[in-house]
Amino acid sequence: MPEGVIVKALSGYYYVKPLREGKISPEDEIVQCRARGIFKKRGQSPLVGDRVIYSLTENGEGMVDELHPRDSELIRPPVANVTLAVLLFSVREPDLNLQLLDKFLVHIEHSGLDTIIVLTKRDLAEEDGEGIAHVKELYEQIGYEVMVTSSRTGSGSEELRKRLAGAISVFAGQSGVGKSSLLNRLVPGLSLETSEISMRLGRGRHTTRHVELMDIGDGGYVADTPGFSQLDFLELGVEELSACFREFVPLAAECKFRGCSHLHEPGCRVIEAWEAGEISDSRYEHYKLFFNEMKDKKRRY
């Protein structure tokens, strides 16, 4: 029976791209499929990115018969088998929000994906090259890969396309940062709907309405996902938070007390590193903010 990958899910249909020798075949036509009722009975739901076994039906459509085990699964956005998260944050319109960036990074660290931080709209901040360089250096020192792009001028687009070759990536970030514009740059002729930023609200309209894998060439596929600006920590335990701050991990093992919260305990190596300037003020402040937010949520639920 043929195998494929779900590249889009919409209105109860799953759009499957056939696999050839284990790779998505760009030449083959997409097969529109329904899913067998057995998945509902098992409490399973096929996701975009799932590798599946399917069968062809008499009307030229198909039926998803079986799901292969997943290498990864994101709850929001709902997508499977992603290996790389591309976090898009604009340097202007809206202004760069490091607190939200750190919140996204916590969720991506918890999911176990590799991450690239892409700073967009470089052309809107030509006079602030020093500030952009500071942010780039801050996150590269932690161990993140950081790229700077401009969809208007095209700078950085080719470098990013090469980086995404051969992988299924998920694009995520604050609404209005230019995800669709960047994808239009990566895939000429794609013509995704984009929207201008509302200066009154400081955010963009949600222009992406469903998850879909897009072929960007060289074996690379990108899951363009609905823009969102709110994340919660319901699926993350407060005791897991510090492990989602990369620079805390090697230090936490040296803390005086097991299960150290890194907030007030004596002999805390994380606090010592922060006081010594080895951990940035913004990262430590955001850690404390997230910790308290999670404690408050736990009390409420």
pLDDT tens per residue across span 93-119: 878 889 999 999 998 898 888 999 999
Q: What does the pLDDT read at residue 28?
A: 87
For the stretch 121-132, pLDDT in tens is 877 766 566 788
Q: What does the pLDDT read at residue 263?
A: 97
The two structure tokens encoding residue 254: 């040296």
Q: Which residues are annotated as a binding site?
A: 120-123, 173-181, 255, 260, 262, 268
Ranges of CATH 3.40.50.300 domains, the chain: 79-224
Q: Is domain 238-300 given the CATH code 1.10.40.50 in the classification?
A: yes
Ranges of CATH 2.40.50.140 domains, the chain: 3-69
Q: What does the pLDDT read at residue 192?
A: 57
pTM: 0.81
Q: What does the pLDDT read at residue 229?
A: 43
Residues 6+ away with beta carbon under 8 Å from 129: none
Q: What does the pLDDT read at residue 232?
A: 67
Token pair 């363009």 is at which residue? 224
Q: What is the pLDDT along the chain (301 residues), one digit of tens a residue?
A: 899 999 999 989 999 999 988 888 778 899 999 999 999 899 899 999 999 999 999 888 999 999 999 998 877 678 899 889 899 898 888 788 899 999 999 988 988 889 999 998 877 766 566 788 899 999 999 999 999 988 778 888 889 999 998 888 988 877 777 777 888 888 776 655 544 333 333 334 444 457 788 888 888 888 866 544 456 666 788 899 999 999 999 999 999 999 999 999 999 999 999 999 999 999 999 999 999 999 887 666 5
Q: What does the pLDDT read at residue 58?
A: 87
Class for domain 3-69, per CATH?
A: mainly beta
**Position 191, amino acid:** S
Q: Which CATH number fits domain 79-224: 3.40.50.10860, 3.40.50.300, 3.40.30.10, 3.90.226.10?
A: 3.40.50.300
Q: What does the pLDDT read at residue 224?
A: 64
Q: Which residues are annotated as a binding site for Zn(2+)?
A: 255, 260, 262, 268
- In whole angstroms, what is the distance from residue 99 CA to residue 269 CA? 23
